[in-house]
Structure formats: structure tokens, C-alpha cells
Structure 1
Amino acid sequence: MAPHVSFTLLALAGLAAAKTCTNFTIPVSISARQGLFKTIPVESNLDITTFSQAFTNIGQNYTKELLQDYQTLNGDYKISAKFCHPSSGSDGSIIQVLTHGIGFDKTYWDLSFNDYNYSYVEAAVKAGYSTLAIDRLGIGNSSHGDPFNTIQASAEVQALNTITTKLRKGEISEISHSFDKVIHVGHSFGSVQSYWLSALYPDNTDGLVLTGWSTNGSYVPITVASLNMHSARLNQPLRFGNASNEGLLKSLGAYASGDALVRGVQSLLKSVGVDLSSQTVWEDIATTEVVDLINGYNKTVEALDYPSGYMTWSDLTANQYAFLLQGFYDVALGLVAESTKQPVTVGEWLTIGSAPSSSSFSGPVLVFTGDHDVPFCGGDCYATGGTADSIPALSAAAFPKTNSFEAYIQPNTAHGLNVHYNATAGYQYIQGWLGSHGLAA
């Protein structure tokens, strides 16, 4: 029988005693030079599909086609953050700043599933580090904005740089002191931004850990196509839109648990003469947008109210293609990822490839990517035709001044590194690598 209980996210229960954490928002003032794009229809799922078709067309540079001019974005925003440190002892002098990728928020780094066994923060804090995980500008509980001309990669990099400077100067009131060294750890788009920061401000980072990344962006189009992007507001109206939960809470009532929901759907089908097994019903609910339609009813207090132009992958099957390796992740955790996923903006897609071609950062760099990564390796990180040990290894060319570069390929892992069975082994490797490169806590 499939794990119906995952619908209720009961598996999220569990406490870890190794760390002390605080959630707060950080005010940031940013100035970012970025694109001024022509707006296009993005209201319906068909509109979003039309965008994806144009974006992935091999004969069309859609970013260039929509780009009208450049502008300087100036504004004050709030970045949602979670600060963690060892429960005993001081906060230390070294902090890891954690930046999530597309489809996630800051919880990606501290998954409470299975008693925090998948938590990167847990591993880092046990190694003696403090961590600051952020919701990128425009995402989660950070300030939202115009999905075309505000929430772009450049603005997010400037927000990340501002937060880094505040950490060095001790200007975050919820944290009692400054930090001598700041390590930037990213995943996917968060790695793009951490790399980008090192290119613009090489003296504002002391070490880079770029997970789920390489400099090869040629597989982004197939990733976008596989995600079958839909309007976020339509995909999960109870989380991403502005729909009220109250009526649905009352109507679902007894069907709050996964098993009860499956039985309820079975009963409804039987009333019209259709008899399906519980396994079939569960598969249909869990792996299609049916589960997205009801996601949030038992958790969401306030809808996030993303405007049109924020989009998300369609369902768990799309998530698996781009992020997960079948047989090497817990499907229950996959459903947690589906019910807590976050969207991406039009502006982010249009600017994801705009990072500088190289960085003058002279410190240590670790690129840590799953062997079956699709977005940055096309599904096989060793498929180089003999030109290099791996596709991520070719990224060394982007760091001509680094004192140490390593590309590590995590086995039996796809793009969503933190949700695979061997995630904790990867975390230990990263902490050990940091310690061996002058960045021990």
C-alpha cells in the first residue's frame, strides 16, 4: 500500500536538540541594474505553456526578444531568514549563508522530515557552524514583487550581497555579533546567485559550495519543458493564490488524513459505478494536480497571494523528472516537497543565464552535483566525451584565480540533492571539505 499518510505531512514531526534557531526578517536596501522586459499574457496555464514554448525554442532567443531596455531597480525589501547555531557555546566566527534554488524556500536546508535526517543545517551546526538560510527575494515569506521587472536574478544577488555585508558588520539585530568569515552555499539557482556574488564581489565571500550546479546551461530548456510549468495561482490556489481555506476545511472534515481521503474518493466513484483500488486512487491523487488542488487546506493559514507571472511545475511527476531519481528518494518526502514547493517568476527564467562568465574569487570552490542531475548535466554528469572527469569539473575554467577547485559527483542522486537517501553523506563530505580548506568552524 502506498504511504497515504504523507498527505497530512505527519512525517514532518520531530525535534532536533543539536541546534537553536530563530526566524526573522532582514530589511535590505538594494540597487540593481537589470532588464526591462515587455510583459506578455501569463494569466492562464495555457499562457504559461506558451511562454515555455517560446523560451525553449532552439531558434529563438526569447530573453532578447522581450528585452526592451535596461533599468536600475532601487528599493527597500524584506528577506525572510532562519538563523541557527549550536545550542551550546557561542555562535562562532564563521557562518554559512544558504540560498535555495527554484521550487524551494529556506526550509530546503532544514527539512524536518524523518526527525531532521535530511537537514543540511543539522549537519553544519553539528560541525560547529552557524547558518543563515534565506528565502530569496520574491519567494516565500520574503518580499514579493512584479514577476517581470522586479524579481530577477540581479536583484536577488544584490539582496544576497547586502545580507552578507550585514553579517560581516554585525548589523542584523537578531544576531548578537559579526562574523569574520562567510561561506556561501547554494543549490541550483541559489548556486548561480552565489557564484554571481563571487564574480561581482569576490572579497565578500570566503568560500563557495555550489550544489546542483555547473557552468553548462544548455540543459535548462529541457528542464523547463519537463516541468510542464503552470500558473502558481492555479496550480495551488490555497497556498499560492488568495482563496479562503475556511469552506474547504469544513467540507473536507473527516478526510483530513490520506487514508480517509482515498476512501472518500473511492466511495464517490463507487456511487457512480466505478470501482478502483485504493492503490490506483492514491496514484491518481498523489501524482497529478489533484493533490496540488487540495495542498494547503490543512496547513495554510494565510494564502501567499502570488500575482500572475509566478509559475510552478505541474505535479510530482514533473518534479521527479527534473529533481528526483526514482528508487533513491522517499516518495513520502517527494510529496512533502510537492506540498511545500515555491514558484519561479518570468523574470527569473529570463535572467537565470545572465551571470558573468568568470569570477576573480581566489578562495576555495567546491562544486557538488548529483550524478543524475538533469538541469546542469542533462541526466549524466560523466557524459563529457572524455574531455573532462565530469561536466561540473569543466566549471573550473570560471574560477581562474581560485586557490582550490574541486568538482565532487554525488552518486545515486539527481538535482534535488537534499531529498535523496544519501543526502547526509553528502553533507558530511561538504563539512569535511570546508574544514580541510581553512574554513573549519
Structure 2
Amino acid sequence: MRVSIWARVIFTAIIMCGFATGVAAADNESAPADCRSFPFAVPQGELAATLCTPAGGARTVMVLMSGSNFNGTYWDFSYQPQTYNFRRAMNAAGYATLVVDRLGNGTSTHPPSETLSATATAQNLHDIVQAAKHGIGGAAPFGKVVTVGHSLTSGTSIMEATQYHDVDGLLLTGYSHAVNVPETLSVIATYHSAADDPEFAGRGLDPGYLTSRPGTRMHDFYDPGDVDPAVLALDERQKEVFSLTEYPDGMLSTLPGMSNFLTAPVMIVVGGRDRMLCGIDYATCASSATLQAEEAPFFAPEARLRSFVLPGSGHAVNLARNTADYQAAVVDWANSTIGN
């Protein structure tokens, strides 16, 4: 069985980060972003995209693409959005967001599962980055573009950036080079054909589309001490499909070498209890400093690597109880290295 690509950030907590979180929550209530959805054409079909721009506009856009077991709702979570909605937090901080479902994901086109690959996703991401810089979805061109990935799409973000060098920053969540292979295999063992899953009955998906078996997402993506049961229940209803054919080329980004060619600022975020990415006994994720020490050799000085561990969180850092700390860390990194 193939090992999946789950990709593998030094944040020093300062008062301003907590302040930024408070401002984000207030702004979410008083000044909602202007959002519009549209299809983005790619060779194999269309990608579902939603562009949200803060009141007053933005110069920088974050392109948010979810990993293999999630869709756009991972970034735009509807339950207690003042806490769990990453998209709204970034809009409140002054950044535009472009949430995109990759092929075979969410409401994007679902081609035959065996035709999906990380290489194609990386090429689609490049086309999106270029479109954002020249005007996308009726918006004015953005001056700066940051790609934001989770797990599988952190890998495709690296693939895109090392080939084209056209982004101004990369936020890699659910990514590290310290893959715990036995634990990763234990997660893969929970997958089954989406055609056999009650959540996808009648959708006409071919047997190559996989999803997590009912009741296994706690084991795979969360820690019991850091998840609201209501979040877990909604995530089960919103879970997503993917194809194993997306993994082999995507795994290349976790090997020594590729990430060393990144020339834009990079931030890595991992949950402190991520069973797949924290090495043996979670030692790599003991703190942001330990993660920084582990990851620094894999990045060139131009990346100005910053690492952040969200204590207690599993793989799904957006949906941990303390996710606001991670949101604040991202805003601090973006403000200090990229700007809005």
C-alpha cells in the first residue's frame, strides 16, 4: 500500500497576536467580506472557487486549497465561525481569500479517479496564481499571492512554487518531513471506497474515489482533548473524497531536496498531537522550537522559515478548540513577512 503524502512551523507568542485574534472576531461581525463564487476552467473540467475580499479591499490574496480528506468547508467552517472559520479570520486581518476545491473534490469536476494527480493539481494552482495576479472572478489584480495548503495541498504548493517561483509566500499546514510511517499507515487503513459510504450514496463516484470510514476521523485527524464534539459531527457530514493516484507524485515534496528550492517566505504549522507528522512519541512537535530545528535543514535561507506547533491539536489544525492561536500566528507571520 502506498504511503500518503501528509505533509509536515518558530513562532514566539506575543501580545499582539492575541490582540489580532480579538480584532478579527470583532471585524467578522461588523464588516463581513464581499464573497462571490465562480467556476475556474482547467483542462479536466472546472474548479469551484470562492473569492472573499475584506471591506475596503486588499492587496494580498491567500489561495486556500484543502487536503485529501476535506473540501472548502475546512477553511470556511460554518459552526461557531468566530472561532473555527479560518477564511473569515484572514479577511478580518485585511487579506483577501480564494477558496478553491481541487479536481475530484467538493463541487469541482469529478473526472475518473485514476486521472487525478498532484502534478495536475500543482499546474492548476499555478494557473490560479497567475489569474489572481491578472484579475480573477471580476476582481482587480492582486499585488501579492500566498498559497495556503493543508496536508496533500501543502505538497502541491511546494511543487508549484519550486517550478514557477511566482508566489510571495507559502503557508504549509499539516506538513513536515518527520513522517511517522506506522501511524500514517494506520490512517490509510481507515479508508474505503466512497461508493460504499452513506455520505456519498447515489453520487455516481467510481470505486477509485476513497473516503474515511464512518467514525474514524477522531483517530485520523483529531485529539480527543482538543475537539468539540459538534465540530467532529459536522466534519463527518462534510468529509471529502480523493484518489490514491494523487499521492505518489505528491510524496516527492516530503523527500529531502524539493523544499530546499523554495525562494519565498514559508511558514509551517503542525498540530502537537498529529499522529502522522510528529515523529516518534510526538517528539518533533514538542514545541515550535523543536519543529523549527527539525525542518530548518530542508529549507534555504531565502525561505525565512517560521514554524508553529498548535499544542494539543491533531492533523486538522483549523478545527482544534485552540485554533485561534494558530490563526493569530499566521496573521503575525503574514503581516511581518508579506504584508496586506
Q: Which band: TM-score by shorter chain?
A: 0.7 to 0.9
Structure 1 residues 379 and 110 mapped into 2: Cα distance closer, same or farther (>3 Å)? farther
What residue number does 2:76 align with? 110
Task: Render the CA deviation track for 1:171-204: whole Å, top value 9, x for unaligned.
Answer: x2x23211111011111112111122121122x1
Query: In the alignment, what sits opposite 1:94?
Result: 60
Q: Secondary structure at the match of 2:53?
A: strand
Residue 197 of structure 1: aligned partner: 160
1:82 CA displacement = 1.3
1:302-333: CA deviations, max 9, x gaps?
A: x3x321101111122x2111210102110111
Does the aligned pair in 2 maintain the 1:215–1:392 contact within 8 Å? no
Q: Whole-Å Cα distance in 2 between the matches of residues 374 and 398 of structure 1?
A: 21
Name the CA distance, whole Å, in 2 between partners of 1:379 and 1:175: 48
Q: Could you give the per-residue CA deviations for residues 104-141 of structure 1, whole angstroms, max 9, x where no partner exists?
A: 00111010102442000111001100000110122111
Q: Which has the higher helix share?
A: 2
Distance 1:145-1:392 versus aligned 2 partners, 3 A rule: farther
Cα distance in 2, alignment partners of residues 326 and 142 from structure 1: 32
Correspondence list, 1:180-195, <5 A: 180-195=143-158
Question: What is the rounded CA distance, in whole Å, between the counterparts of 1:180 and 1:194 in structure 2?
Answer: 19
**8 A Cα contact 1:382 1:389, kept in partner:** no
Normalized against structure 1, the TM-score is what? 0.66
1:128 is matched by which residue type in structure 2? G
Measured on the aligned residues, the alpha-carbon RMSD in Å equals 2.3
Gaps of 5+ in 2: 1-27
3-state SS in 2 of match to 1:214: coil
Distance of 1:384 and 1:419 partners within structure 2: 18
d(CA) in 2 for partners of 1:139, 1:393: 34
What per-residue deviation string (whole Å, max 9, x for no partner) do you get for residues 40-71 of structure 1? xxxxxxxxxxxxxxxxxxxxxxxxxxxxxxxx
How far off its partner does 1:364 sit? 1.3
Q: Does 1:344 align with 2:307?
A: no
**TM-score between both structures, scaled by the size of structure 2:** 0.84
Matched, 1:163 2:128: yes
Where does 1:161-240 land on structure 2 (aligned, <5 Å)? 161-170=126-135, 172=136, 174-202=137-165, 204-219=166-181, 222-227=183-188, 228-236=190-198, 239-240=199-200
Tell me the residue number matched to 2:25.
none
**CA separation of 1:115/1:367 partners in 2, compared to 1, >3 Å: closer, same or farther?**
closer
Q: The residue matched to 2:98 in structure 1 has which SS?
A: strand
Which among 84, 97, 101 is matched to residue 52 of structure 2? 84
1:152 pairs with 2:152: no
Aligned to 1:23: 37
Higher relative contact order (CA 8 A, sep 6+): 2
Q: 2: distance between equivalents of 1:232 and 1:129?
A: 35
Structure 1 residues not aligned, in runs of 5+: 1-14, 29-74, 243-302
- The answer to whether the 8 Å contact 2:278/2:285 transfers is no
Task: Report the alpha carbon displacement of residue 214 of structure 1 after superposing the two structures with TM.
Answer: 0.6
Q: Distance in 2 between matches of 1:81 and 1:358?
A: 28
* Equivalent in the alignment of 1:410: 310
SS at match of 2:51: strand
Q: Which has the larger radius of gyration?
A: 1
Q: Any conservation in 1 of the 2:178–2:279 contact (CA below 8 Å)?
A: no
Taking the TM superposition and a 5 Å limit, the aligned residue runs for 1:235-274 are 235-236=197-198, 239-242=199-202
1:199 and 1:374 map into 2 onto residues whose CA distance is: 28
C-alpha spacing 1:23/1:195, structure 2 compared with 1 (3 Å): same
Secondary structure (helix, strand or coil) at the match of 2:177 reads coil
Displacement of 1:383 after TM fit?
4.1
Residues 394 and 233 of structure 1, relative CA distance in 2, 3 Å threshold: same
Count of residue pairs brought into register by the alignment: 308
Q: CA deviation at 1:349?
A: 3.2
Identity, % of aligned pairs? 29
Q: Distance in 2 between matches of 1:389 and 1:116?
A: 29
CA–CA distance in structure 2, aligned partners of residues 353 and 123 of structure 1:
30
